[in-house]
């Protein structure tokens, strides 16, 4: 058992994967100095510049090189620095990596991980703060992961590196410093592939189900504490993986509680929460005691100034808890 930050857990997953498999390597801007957040600190000294590769400032070049290398049999880890910057490489990811296995009749695969830090982080403003996970869930051929804990960042990144399909791996920037005891010895005994598409019920409750992921897990837990004071027990589910997502765990919870609230930091309009809501409405309508509710960011740009940023944030006390309690009145 070791106390690791979310960032350190991801770094350890990369380190262990590279030690175990010489075909695993990483590429991106500033990796030689450890990456913009330090996710690759010290790895150049261990593996050398041929496996921790500094690249030009061209996301399309980085992603394109990785796709080609993956098709030739290696397992690249692509560092996009910010999910916003990955938009410069959408063609390579969406039209090439996601479709290659299908278009070549299964003769080639693209075992590649695209790490895309997401979310609001200390006044990073409109071009460095987006949560775009819903975009990638729409694309056939892509796996989408959103770890919320250091343990999951270790487990799921190992799973992503070992997967034979391209994975969009979205780590929340506000979680880099989050610490947790991580049982790495036990984790390495788990088949990481089995973690893909497996949600976690992180708090039991009888009255309302909250489904969420990434940094919103912690706001949901705070809201659950606030609602507990009013006698309302909230069950909190962390999806962990958005595609594939764990439909059965969500349906089982909704059958028990009869009420569903979906919370995400991304803009609510067109967000992945709508997919969850529609699925539950189709498959568990008879179990519902109240209308399904969604809570996401308004469809506005994220301001640099903290007061403007706070208008976009989803907060436990201001947003989640009141909406959850209103469900009990429906």
The ranges assigned to domains in the chain are 2-193, 200-328
Q: What is the CA radius of gyration of the chain?
A: 20
Mean pLDDT value across residues 151-163: 96
Mean pLDDT score across all residues of the chain: 96
Give the helix ranges, DSSP H, for 88-196.
90, 100-103, 133-137, 150-162, 184-187
User: What is the predicted pLDDT for the residue at 154?
Assistant: 95
User: What is the predicted pLDDT for the residue at 267?
Assistant: 97
Torsion of CA 303, 129, 65, 156, to 10 degrees: 180
Query: How many other β-carbons are positioned within 10 Å of the β-carbon of residue 294?
Result: 18
pLDDT tens-digit series, residues 36-45: 999 999 999 9
User: What is the predicted pLDDT for the residue at 240?
Assistant: 98
**Does residue 244 carry a pLDDT above 90?**
yes
219-257 burial, b at 16+ Cβ within 10 Å, e below that, comes to bbbebbebbeeeebebbbbbbbbbbebbeebbbebbeeb
User: What is the predicted pLDDT for the residue at 1?
Assistant: 79
Q: Looking at the domain that runs over 2-193, which CATH code has it been given?
A: 3.40.50.970
Secondary structure of residue 52 in the 3-state scheme: strand
Secondary structure of residue 269 in the 3-state scheme: coil
Q: By CB neighbour count within 10 A (0-12 exposed, 13-18 middle, 19+ buried), where does 125 fall?
A: middle
Tokens encoding 104: 């070549």
**What is the CATH class of 200-328?**
alpha beta
pTM of the model: 0.96
Nearest to 227 by CA among 137, 309, 291, 319: 319
Q: CB within 8 A of 22, min separation 6: which ones?
A: none
User: What is the predicted pLDDT for the residue at 245?
Assistant: 98
Mean pLDDT value across residues 186-196: 81
Q: By CB neighbour count within 10 A (0-12 exposed, 13-18 middle, 19+ buried), where does 291 fall?
A: exposed
User: What is the predicted pLDDT for the residue at 3?
Assistant: 94
Say whether 200-328 and 2-193 share the same fold.
Answer: yes
Tokens encoding 304: 């640099």
**Does residue 187 carry a pLDDT above 80?**
no
Confirm whether 128 is a catalytic residue. yes
């Amino acid at each position: 058992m070791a106390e690791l930050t979310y960032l350190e857990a991801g770094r350890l997953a990369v380190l262990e994967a590279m030690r175990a498999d010489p075909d695993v390597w990483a590429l991106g801007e500033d990796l030689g100095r450890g990456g913009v957040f330090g996710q690759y600190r010290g790895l150049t000294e261990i593996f050398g510049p041929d496996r921790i590769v500094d690249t030009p400032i061209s996301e399309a070049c980085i992603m394109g090189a990785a796709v080609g290398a993956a098709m030739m049999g290696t397992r690249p880890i692509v560092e996009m620095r910010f999910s916003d910057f990955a938009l410069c490489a959408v063609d390579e990811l969406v039209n090439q990596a996601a479709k290659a296995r299908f278009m070549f009749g299964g003769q080639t695969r693209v075992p590649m991980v695209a790490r895309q830090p997401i979310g609001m982080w200390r006044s990073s403003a409109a071009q460095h703060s987006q949560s775009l996970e819903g975009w990638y869930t729409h694309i056939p051929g892509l796996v989408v992961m959103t770890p919320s804990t250091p343990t999951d960042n270790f487990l799921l990144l190992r799973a992503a590196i070992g997967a034979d399909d391209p994975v969009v791996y979205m780590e929340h920037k506000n979680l880099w410093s989050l610490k947790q005891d991580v049982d790495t010895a036990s984790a390495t005994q788990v088949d990481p592939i089995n973690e893909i598409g497996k949600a976690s019920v992180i708090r039991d409750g009888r009255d309302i189900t909250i489904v969420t992921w990434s940094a919103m897990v912690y706001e949901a837990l705070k809201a659950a504490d606030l609602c507990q004071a009013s006698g309302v027990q909230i069950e909190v589910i962390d999806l962990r993986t958005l595609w594939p997502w764990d439909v059965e765990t969500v349906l089982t919870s909704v059958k028990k509680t009869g009420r569903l609230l979906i919370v995400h930091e991304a803009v609510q309009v067109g967000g992945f929460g709508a997919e969850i809501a529609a699925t539950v409405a189709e498959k568990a309508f008879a179990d519902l005691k109240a209308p399904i509710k969604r809570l996401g960011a308004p469809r506005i740009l994220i301001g640099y100034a903290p007061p403007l940023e706070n208008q976009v944030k989803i907060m436990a006390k201001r947003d989640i808890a009141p909406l959850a309690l209103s469900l009990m009145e429906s």
